[in-house]
Amino acid sequence: MINETECDRKLFKDFAKEIGYEMDDASLENFQIKFQKAFTFLPELAVFAGAYSVKKTFQRRTVPPKNIRNNIRIFFHNIISCEALTQGHKDIQIPYVKILPCTMSHNSTFVEGTHANVVLVIIDIDYLKSFLKSDIEHFPFLTRKDQHFLIEEIMSDDILRTVNEIISNRQTEGLEDFFYKLKTMELLYYLFESLTHRDKNASNLKLSEKDILSIYKVRDRIASNLSQPQPINELKKLAGMNELKMRNIFKQIFGLGIYEYYQHLRMTEAARLLREEKLSVSETGYALGFENLSHFTRVFEQHIGLKPKKYSSQFR
């Protein structure tokens, strides 16, 4: 008799085989799968949603799938608002979206005892362009000849809501594939709508793997302490590059300048504390290093669109 764990692994292996993705049994042994869902609309589109915990620390190099050749891969990480995926998991971080081209492989480190959840959308670029049409000019990374880019975006409330509609255990009597395809396109709409707010004049540098690793060290340092900004001189040393290059690469990947990104993370965390931890406005402001609550209110409204008191009242 096949047990539940073997069924989970078989589902993932079948999905990986269908899209032409290399995944060995040894890597799968290191995961405890909590939840997964997969559907394909080849050769244009494939979607996988899953939650897992890591049983043993290991590294693996992730390569692009072979059966959607001219694709981009869009990872929706840390979907913290879905109770079914995150119950009891306190280490899941701020939700974000990562976009990679089909030409880019990357190394991933999985740390024992950590938990993660993700929705992966793999979509053919020409198929995506057929929906974007004239709006393609807002997204120059889709037309780059070298196809060597990396973009990360913080999830908006619309993106989070739609992701959770995809991963929810929706019971359907029919048209299930139709539903998931429409929801995936809705999800992509909200993502690309968010990307339209990026600076069109931002640098368009070809990124090396070393540059990417260095900038993520900078990002991780910024995110490690949201109660105060990190000194630029320390971030330069950490990145191992001059300030101008560091700022340009950071803005190209994350869409915001270093301080803007810090403030955005700060306000995203403030919203979470108000929404999920039920902290008061003053408790939230002081927890994030604000001495002046009027200043906290102004910054929160700039980033979230509502004053913190009105925002928190929606979840009481």
- Give the pLDDT confidence of 154-169 residue by residue, as tens digits: 888 789 889 888 887 5
Q: What are phi and psi of 288, to 5 degrees?
A: -100, 20
- Are the CB atoms for 232 and 268 separated by under 8 Å? no
pLDDT exceeds 70 at position 20? yes
Q: Which is more confident, 56 or 288?
A: 288
Q: Tell me the whole-structure pTM to 2 decimals.
A: 0.82
pLDDT score for 88: 40
d(CA 198, CA 141): 12
- Which is higher by pLDDT, 121 or 65? 121
- Please report the pLDDT score of residue 87 as a whole number: 41
For residue 216, give Cα distances in angstroms to 102, 141, 253: 20, 19, 10
Whether pLDDT at 251 is above 80: yes
Question: Is residue 50 within 8 Å of residue 12, measured between CB atoms?
Answer: yes
| Least confident range of 94-98, 106-110, 174-178, 289-293 | 106-110
**Side-chain-side CA neighbours of residue 41 (13 Å):** 17
pLDDT in tens, 204-241: 778 888 999 899 999 999 998 999 999 999 999 999 99
Which one is predicted more confidently, 22 or 136? 136
Q: How confident is the model at residue 172 (pLDDT cuts 50, 70, 90)?
A: low
For the segment 12-33, the average pLDDT, to the nearest whole number, is: 81
Give 132 or 28, the one with higher predicted confidence. Answer: 132
Compare 293 and 92 and report the one with higher pLDDT. 293
What type of residue is 22? E
Q: What share of the chain is helix, strand, coil (3-state, %, to 5)?
A: 50, 20, 35
Work out the pLDDT band at 146, boundaries 50, 70, 90: low
DSSP state for residue 36 in the 8-state scheme: E
Q: Are 156 and 37 in contact (CB under 8 A)?
A: no
Beta-carbon contacts of 248 under 8 Å, excluding residues fewer than 6 positions away, are: 202, 203, 205
Residue type (1 letter), 250: F
Percent of the chain at pLDDT exceeding 70: 89
Gap between the Cα atoms of 33 and 30, Å rounded: 10
Average pLDDT, the chain: 85
Task: List pLDDT tens digits, range 60-95.
Answer: 777 778 888 789 999 998 775 444 433 443 444 667
Lowest-confidence segment of 79-83, 175-179, 246-250, 266-270 by average pLDDT: 79-83
Amino acid letter, 229: P
For strands 115-124 and 71-77, give the pairing: antiparallel
